[in-house]
Amino acid sequence: MEKATALLGSLFGRGVAEQDAAKVKELFVYPIKGCRGISVPFACVSPTAVKAPDMYPLQIPLFQDTFQRIDNISVWEWCGSAFDQGENAANWFSTYLGKPSRLVRFDTESEVRPIDENYARGYKTMFSDEYPFLMISQSSLDTLNKHLTESLPINRFRPNIFVEGCEPFAEDLWQTLRINGLTFHGVKLCARCKVPTLNQETGIAEKEPTETLSKFRSGEILFSGKKARGKVFFGQNLICEESLNPKACLGKVIRVGDMVHVVKKINSSAEAAT
């Protein structure tokens, strides 16, 4: 049966048999970089209302002709211009954060932020950390929490696609996968910065989970000390193949409950890109 399935797959252009590897448990979008994520039943355009304790909801229009462009906006190594979202948004964030702040929107018409071509040539992102999608599994989180004195919620790690039903860290091995007709490629394990150490209820930085991850998810351990020394890894960065052709993904969405079909995978984390 497996040989027959593989043969049919090759006839239809996939080359290998797809395997049901997991199921989408939750989906998260992050309308504003660094702010709270929103759990959604399916991936779509979401309302742009911003809320915070003791603050009135901030409504931000999706389209407005009076936005001014601001230069020297940077994310990691990228620097460019972006659209300022106005005085109302600036005052709102300045008041809540207690320091002068402005909210800007990525200028998709004149700016391009390419993904590192060493991992995904031709793809681009906007204000996300490095890649447009991050996938983590429930079993990976459960395994980490077994090593911690106090369990952490998934929001510490800010994934977009949270899956269940697979082995711990199985997502490390997934190179090509399909979800509801969309093809994703795992291009790089996610090296974690200090963001997961920030308690989102108190704003206080803690030692965990970095201290524990360093004991079994460090570059030295995963890759036998050959690369990525001093880093810890949790989650898989993804790109969507259809994003290169907007017409190919028109009308397609990812829903909670969708199956994750693995088309291609590697044998061990040691072979993963970092």
Question: For residue 156, is it within any domain?
Answer: yes
Question: For residue 77, is it within any domain?
Answer: no
Question: For residue 52, is it within any domain?
Answer: no
> Which tokens belong to 14?
């996939």
Cα separation of the two ends of the chain: 36
Q: What was the pLDDT predicted at 17? A: 62
pLDDT single digits (tens) 99-123: 999 888 888 778 778 877 777 777 7
Question: For residue 111, is it within any domain?
Answer: no
Query: Which residues is 74 bridged to in the sheet?
Result: 79
pLDDT in tens, the chain (274 residues): 444 434 434 333 344 467 889 999 999 988 777 778 889 998 743 334 587 788 888 877 766 667 788 888 888 778 888 888 888 889 998 998 899 998 888 887 787 788 777 777 777 777 777 788 999 999 999 999 999 999 999 999 999 999 999 999 999 999 999 999 889 999 999 999 899 999 888 888 999 999 999 999 999 999 876 677 889 999 999 988 887 776 777 778 899 999 999 999 999 888 888 7
β-strand 161-164 against 174-179: which pairing, if any? unpaired
Question: For residue 245, is it within any domain?
Answer: yes
Q: What was the pLDDT predicted at 72? A: 85
CB 213 within 8 A of CB 201: no
What would the 3-class secondary structure string for 34-88 be? CCCCEEECECCCCCCEECCCCCCCEECCCCCCCCCEEEEEEECCEEEEEEECCHH
Question: For residue 103, is it within any domain?
Answer: no
Question: For residue 146, is it within any domain?
Answer: yes
Q: What was the pLDDT predicted at 172? A: 96
Q: Collapsing DSSP states into helix, strand and coil, what is residue 220?
A: helix
Distances (CA, A) of 123 to 89, 115, 164, 241: 31, 6, 27, 9
Question: For residue 252, is it within any domain?
Answer: yes
Q: What was the pLDDT predicted at 63? A: 65
Global pTM exceeds 0.85: no
Domain span at residue 179 reads 2-46+121-271
- 49, 34, 46: which is closest to 88 by C-alpha? 49
Q: What was the pLDDT predicted at 146? A: 98
CATH label of the domain that carries residue 225: 2.40.33
Q: Per the structure, how many domains does the chain have?
A: 1
